[in-house]
A and B are shown apart, each in its own frame.
Chain A
Amino acid sequence: MSNSPLRFSVLALTVVMAGALLSGCVATGYGYGSAGYGYSADYYEPYGGIYGEWGPGYEVGPYRDGGGRRGPPSGGHAYRSAPASHSMPSIPTGGRGHR
Chain B
Amino acid sequence: MQRRYKSNLTNAYDKAHDPATIKTRKKDFSPLYQSLYQSLYQYIRLSVMALALGAASTVPAMAAAVQMPALIQPANQEHHVGKVIFVELVTPDLVSAEHFYSGLFGWTFQATQDTNTTDGTVYAQAYKNGYPVAGLIQKSVPDNEHRQSAWLSFIAVKDVDATRAAAVQHGAKVLIEPRDVPIRGRQAVFADPQGAVFAVLASSSGDPVDVLAEPGEWIWSSLITRDPDAGAAFYQDLFNYEIFELPANPGKEHLIMASENYARASANSLPSAEPNRHSHWLNYVRVVDAVAMAAKVKELGGHVLVEPRVDRHGGKVAVVSDPSGAPFGLLEWTGDEMKEVTK
Chain A residues in the interface with B (C-beta under 8 A): 3, 7, 10-11, 14-19, 21-23, 27, 29-32, 35-55, 57-64, 66-74, 77-82, 86, 88-96, 98-99
| Cβ–Cβ contact A89 & B211, under 8 A | no
Query: A55-B271, A62-B263 are contacts. A80–B243 as well, Cβ < 8 Å?
Result: yes
Q: Is the interface of B mostly helix, strand, loop or mixed?
A: mixed
**Residue B327 is within 8 A (CB to CB) of chain A in the complex:** yes
- Decide if A52 touches B273 in the complex (CB within 8 Å): yes
Structural contact, B280 and A45, CB atoms closer than 8 A: yes
Partner of B232, one of A63, A66, A79: A79
Interchain CA distance A95-B121 in the complex, whole Å: 37
**CB–CB A95/B340 < 8 A:** yes
Q: Is the CB of A68 within 8 A of B175?
A: no
A39 touches B266 (CB 8 A): no
Contacts of B336 in A (CB 8 A): 93
- The stretch from B13-21, B102-110, B293-301, B313-321 touching chain A is B313-321
CB–CB A52/B246 < 8 A = no
Tell me the nearest residue of chain B to A69, going by C-beta.
B247
Q: A42-B121, A51-B319 are in contact. Are A27 and B245 (CB under 8 A)?
A: no
Cβ of B263 and Cβ of A91 under 8 Å apart?
A: yes
SS class, residues of chain A in contact with chain B: loop
Cβ-based interface call for B26 (8 A): no
Q: Is B165 an interface residue (CB 8 A)?
A: no
Contacts of B117 in A (CB 8 A): 35-37
- How many residues from B make CB contacts under 8 Å with A? 111
Residue pair A11, B271 in contact (C-beta under 8 Å): no
Min distance, Cβ A44 to any Cβ of chain B, angstroms: 4
Asked if B254 is at the interface of the complex by the 8 Å CB criterion, the answer is: yes
- Alpha-carbon gap, A17 to B54, bound state (A): 8
Q: Decide: A95 near B141, CB < 8 A? Known: A11-B49, A62-B263.
A: no
Q: Can you name the residue of chain A whose Cβ is closest to the Cβ of B184? A: A39
Determine how close the nearest CB of chain B comes to the CB of A71; give it in whole angstroms.
4
B121 contacts A35, CB within 8 Å?
Answer: yes
Given A27-B175, A43-B175, residue A63 in contact with residue B229 (CB < 8 A): no
> With A15-B54, A59-B312, A78-B230 in contact, is A43–B150 under 8 Å at CB?
yes
Instruction: Report yes or no: A45 in contact with B233, Cβ–Cβ below 8 A.
Output: no
A67 and B176 contact, CB distance less than 8 A = no
Tell whether, in the assembled complex, residue A27 and residue B177 are in contact, meaning their CB atoms are under 8 Å apart: yes
Q: Interface readout for B246-290 with A: 1 if CB under 8 Å, 0 if not?
A: 111100101110100111001010011111111010100000000
Closest 8 CB pairs of A and B: A18-B54, A36-B117, A38-B65, A14-B50, A49-B276, A44-B147, A52-B273, A51-B305
User: In the complex, are the beta carbons of A72 and B149 less than 8 A apart?
Assistant: no
Contacts A/B (CB < 8 Å), 18 sampled = A31-B145, A39-B66, A39-B121, A40-B176, A43-B90, A45-B149, A46-B278, A58-B268, A59-B248, A61-B315, A61-B331, A62-B220, A63-B256, A82-B242, A82-B243, A89-B258, A92-B212, A93-B340
Answer yes or no: B219 CB below 8 A from chain A CBs: yes
